[in-house]
């Protein structure tokens, strides 16, 4: 890819926390329709990078372009309206509300009244949550809570979906389901996805391309095969 028609591009993106450079001069190019995985050791700067992209944090230096347009100064809300949505690492569901009520929240702003019940059912169905629609979110299994979050983040059919560790703490079976959901979002709705994940089997199952972050910098980039066969990556990431 030349980066000319990238959906998302960063130039020299940098975030400092005091003396710590959490994200260091990152130049990303995410193509439309791509599933990109972002991997790297703990503390590498992955979550910080996603928070910069979605507008939860502002960069110390550098620029973010979405669809060719500089969005560095836009708020999180403005970016969401532009088609960007995110599931954060720390769960953000409303525990006392039912699953249905949670899904209602992102939809209520944009979906017309006559359509909203159908839109909720459709979203619940997509993520296997119809049977627990009236359960309080806090009573869900860990896996179901993660799916509810992905459901909420994707309900408005964003063009770009950022997922921070969607399969963390899941069983093998749940992880496989999550990979299936990610594929379906990408195929059915032509969604572009940028996904942080530790579980290498999950990365193998979903990634079309992989970016390795190490100490805030892009350490390597390529197909999952390139990355898995790169001795330097194995050293820093897989601890070999
Ligand atoms: P990852 O998601 O790759 O594990 P993070 O992006 O969470 O890494 O963190 C990168 C580095 O930045 C870590 O050293 C972390 O302690 C630091 N960091 C993250 N958020 C903050 C913050 N709000 N204030 C200060 N330091 C932070
Ligand atoms: Mg993180």
**Amino acid 3: pLDDT:** 46
Q: Is residue 188 over pLDDT 90? A: no
Q: Is residue 198 over pLDDT 90? A: no
Instruction: Tell me, yes or no, whether 1 lies in a domain.
Output: no
**Amino acid 61: pLDDT:** 98
Q: Which ligand is nearest to the CA of 49?
A: 1
* Spatial separation of the C-alpha atoms in residues 88 and 95, rounded to whole Å: 16
CATH number for the domain that contains residue 126: 3.40.50.300
Question: Beta strands 192-196 and 35-39: pairing type?
Answer: parallel
Q: Give the residue, out of 14, 15, 17, with the most ligand 1 atoms within 8 A of its beta carbon, to mutate for a pocket test.
A: 17
Instruction: Tell me, yes or no, whether 77 lies in a domain.
Output: yes
Region 155-166 average pLDDT:
93
The protein residue with its alpha carbon nearest to ligand 1, atom 21, reads 17
Instruction: Tell me, yes or no, whether 63 lies in a domain.
Output: yes
Q: Is residue 1 over pLDDT 70? A: no
Q: What residues pair up with 37 in beta bridges, in sequence order? A: 195, 210
- Residue holding tokens 């975030």? 15
**Amino acid 238: pLDDT:** 61
Instruction: Tell me, yes or no, whether 167 lies in a domain.
Output: yes
Burial class (CB within 10 angstroms; exposed 0-12, middle 13-18, buried 19+) of 198: middle
**Amino acid 26: pLDDT:** 98
**Amino acid 199: pLDDT:** 87
What's the number of domains the chain is made of?
Answer: 1
Q: Is residue 113 over pLDDT 90? A: no
* Spatial separation of the C-alpha atoms in residues 196 and 45, rounded to whole Å: 11
Comparing 37 with 238, which gets the higher pLDDT?
37
- The token pair that represents 83 in the structure block: 């088609």
* Spatial separation of the C-alpha atoms in residues 190 and 109, rounded to whole Å: 23
Q: Is residue 239 over pLDDT 80? A: no
Pocket, ligand 1, Cβ cutoff 6 A: 17, 20, 22, 40, 42-48
- Cα(24) to ligand 1 centroid in Å equals 12
The protein residue with its alpha carbon nearest to ligand 1, atom 10, reads 45
* Spatial separation of the C-alpha atoms in residues 154 and 62, rounded to whole Å: 28
Question: What is the rounded average pLDDT for all residues in the chain?
Answer: 92
pTM for the predicted model, two decimal places: 0.93
Domain coverage including residue 24: 6-236
* Spatial separation of the C-alpha atoms in residues 81 and 76, rounded to whole Å: 9
Please state the atom number of ligand 1 nearest to the C-alpha of residue 213: 3
Please give all residues whose CB falls under 5 A of ion ligand 2, grouped by chain where several chains appear: 47, 89
The protein residue with its alpha carbon nearest to ligand 1, atom 23, reads 17
Instruction: Tell me, yes or no, whether 31 lies in a domain.
Output: yes
**Amino acid 2: pLDDT:** 46
- Cα(100) to ligand 1 centroid in Å equals 33
Q: Is residue 28 over pLDDT 60? A: yes
Q: Is residue 146 over pLDDT 90? A: yes
* Spatial separation of the C-alpha atoms in residues 34 and 6, rounded to whole Å: 10
**Amino acid 91: pLDDT:** 65
The protein residue with its alpha carbon nearest to ligand 1, atom 22, reads 17
Percent of the chain with pLDDT over 70: 96
Residue-level length of the chain? 240
**Amino acid 92: pLDDT:** 79
Percent of the chain with pLDDT over 90: 80
- Cα(196) to ligand 1 centroid in Å equals 14
């Amino acid at each position: 890819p030349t980066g000319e028609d990238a959906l998302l591009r960063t130039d020299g993106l940098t975030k400092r926390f005091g003396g710590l450079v959490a994200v260091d001069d990152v130049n990303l190019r995410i193509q439309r329709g791509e599933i990109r995985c972002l991997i790297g050791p703990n503390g590498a700067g992955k979550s910080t990078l996603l928070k910069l992209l979605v507008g939860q944090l502002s960069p110390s230096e550098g620029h973010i372009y979405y669809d060719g347009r500089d969005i560095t100064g836009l708020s999180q809300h403005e970016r969401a309206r532009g088609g960007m949505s995110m599931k954060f690492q720390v769960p953000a569901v409303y525990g006392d509300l039912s699953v249905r009520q949670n899904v209602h929240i992102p939809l209520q702003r944009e979906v017309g009244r006559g359509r909203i019940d159908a839109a909720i059912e459709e979203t619940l169905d997509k993520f296997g949550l119809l049977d627990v629609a009236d359960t309080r979110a806090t009573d869900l299994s860990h896996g179901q809570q993660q799916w509810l979050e992905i459901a909420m983040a994707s309900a408005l059919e964003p063009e770009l979906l950022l997922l921070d560790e969607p399969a963390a703490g899941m069983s093998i079976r749940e992880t496989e389901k999550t990979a299936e959901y990610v594929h379906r979002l990408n195929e059915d709705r032509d969604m572009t996805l940028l996904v942080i994940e530790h579980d290498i089997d999950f990365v193998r199952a979903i990634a079309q391309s992989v970016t390795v972050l190490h100490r805030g910098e892009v350490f390597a980039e390529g197909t999952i095969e390139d990355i898995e066969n790169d001795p330097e990556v194995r050293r820093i990431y897989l601890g070999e």
